[in-house]
Amino acid sequence: MSNYTVKRTIIGQLERGTDLHNGITRIVQEHGISVGRVTGMGAVQRAILAYYDQKTMTYENIALNGPLEIVSMYGNISTRDGKPFAHVHVVLSDERGNGKGGHLIAGGTPVFACEVTIEEFDGPPLVRGFDERTGLALWPENTQL
Amino acid sequence: MSNYTVKRTIIGQLERGTDLHNGITRIVQEHGISVGRVTGMGAVQRAILAYYDQKTMTYENIALNGPLEIVSMYGNISTRDGKPFAHVHVVLSDERGNGKGGHLIAGGTPVFACEVTIEEFDGPPLVRGFDERTGLALWPENTQL
Amino acid sequence: MSNYTVKRTIIGQLERGTDLHNGITRIVQEHGISVGRVTGMGAVQRAILAYYDQKTMTYENIALNGPLEIVSMYGNISTRDGKPFAHVHVVLSDERGNGKGGHLIAGGTPVFACEVTIEEFDGPPLVRGFDERTGLALWPENTQL
């Protein structure tokens, strides 16, 4: 368990056509944000999300065709492979208002419009490493609450 | 890209029967919050959401009858037409737990109970203006991240 | 209406197998967080959510079998029955990316992996009490925005 304070909050938008995950990754790496939180809203032209199969320990992609609202985007920022890494989930909705959701991957999700708020936190580093039990890149054991 | 700090955080609830978007608009205008973030949860008696048709560049309304949980509400606050304006998306769920979502419009979404947190940010003004490429009222180009 | 400031932000993870609501409750009670906000993401092994029936004023449980992503978790922290209490909603998604959502109850939702951010706020106490009109444990009238 570690305590953090908010260092700064960045607000802005992603350019139309930018891949959503790649765009966020570029921002957090350019600004050297090693611990943080990302939230946002907007719309995408289409999306590829991922669902983690807890048995096979692999991500399976879900292609969502057609324009979708980004109802909410939530993610955290920590370090993976020596670089700032954003772990992001999104809730999307279609033209009938049906909710979709999942883990955002790099590629396949071009932005139509996206308004983003990124909070950078001051505090101990948060570094991801391979966790055998889940097959995921998780934070270390001493971050258990 | 602009940096902001949190000026204050307002926590409270909306009265039963208040229209969700109108209620938030009243609060941000009464308190003169020109840059901020709104989050919340609760339930609504029914809802009208909107989905943006990226081809025709028009919002289409989606009527959701019957009581729904507000699973999450997320929005940002900036200036539009000279006044504080809240751009809000909501995730709702029905009695079977099915997720719905979209862009919150003024009118048609009476609150059953709603607990709201509004963060006011200190920093450069954020002013919406018409964007030809998307047909939306977006922030200016210099806010691109 | 009351103003708050962020006192500290706690970031960490819940251990695999922990019940999601019980885990959050333990943390906020151990740390004596009487006003706050909890956000998070991850995955659960299965879930039991609740939907509030606004007519009968009772919660009805919704069992969701099988592994699900926690697309977003949002909650507030206040005092109920003299103890810190977390009111939490979650958006989940299944292997086809379909969104589910509702009110998180204690029990029935074991964590697969969950990354949590808890903000503790400084400011006036927020105490829940029974509200006759809704049948819910709400904050007092003077918190109306």
**Tens-place pLDDT, residues B96-128:** 999 999 999 999 999 999 999 999 999 999 999
DSSP state of C98: B
**At B95, which amino acid appears?**
E
Check C90 against B71: CB less than 8 A apart: yes
User: Any bridge partners for residue A50, and if so which?
Assistant: A61, A103
From B82, B131, C49, select the one nearest A42 (Cα to Cα): B131
Chains touching chain A at 3 or more Cβ pairs under 8 angstroms? B, C
Mean pLDDT of B5-20: 97
Q: Quick one: pLDDT band at residue A68, thresholds 50, 70, 90? A: very high
For the cut 70, the answer to whether the pLDDT of residue B27 exceeds it is yes
pLDDT at residue C2 in the model: 79
What is d(CA C128, CA C134) in angstroms, rounded to the nearest whole number?
13
CA dihedral B3, B6, C38, A35 (to 10 degrees): 30
* Residue A13 Cα, gap to closest chain B Cα (Å): 5
Which of B38, B71, B78, B89 to mutate: most A Cβ within 10 Å? B89
Taking residue B133's Cβ as centre, other Cβ atoms within 10 Å add up to: 12
Helix (H, G, I), strand (E, B) or coil at B66: coil
Output the CA–CA distances (angstroms, integers) from residue B35 to A109, B12, B60, B124, C145, in the order listed: 28, 18, 27, 8, 18
pLDDT at A29 over 70: yes
- B4 vs C111: CA distance, rounded Å: 34
In this prediction, residue B25 has a pLDDT band, given cuts at 50, 70 and 90, of very high
- C36-62 confidence digits (pLDDT tens): 999 999 999 999 999 999 999 999 999
Summarised one tens digit per residue, pLDDT across range B77-93 is: 999 999 999 999 999 99
> Both tokens of residue B7?
């000026």
| Residue A8 banded pLDDT, cuts 50, 70, 90 | very high
- Contact (Cβ atoms closer than 8 angstroms) between residue A26 and residue A126: no
Q: What percent of chain A has pLDDT over 90?
A: 98
As given in the structure block, the two tokens for residue A112 are 């139509």
The tens digit of pLDDT for each residue in B32-41 reads 999 999 999 9
Q: Which of C14, C93, C112 sits opposite A54 (nearest CB)?
A: C112
Q: Which residues contact A81 (CB under 8 A, 6 or more apart)?
A: none
Decide: pTM greater than 0.95.
yes
- Find, in chain C, the residue whose alpha carbon is nearest to that of B30: C145
State residue B36's pLDDT score: 98
Inter-chain CB proximity B14 and C145 less than 8 Å: yes
Residue B12 touches chain A, beta carbons under 8 Å: no
Label residue A63 by pLDDT band (50, 70, 90): very high
What rounded mean pLDDT belongs to chain B? 97
**E strand map for chain C:** 2-14, 36-44, 47-53, 58-64, 68-80, 83-93, 99-104, 111-122, 129-131, 136-138
**pLDDT over 70 (residue A1):** no
Q: What is the mean predicted confidence (pLDDT) over C82-89?
A: 98
Tokens (6 digits) for B13: 């609830």
Which tokens in the block code for residue B34? Answer: 């020109």
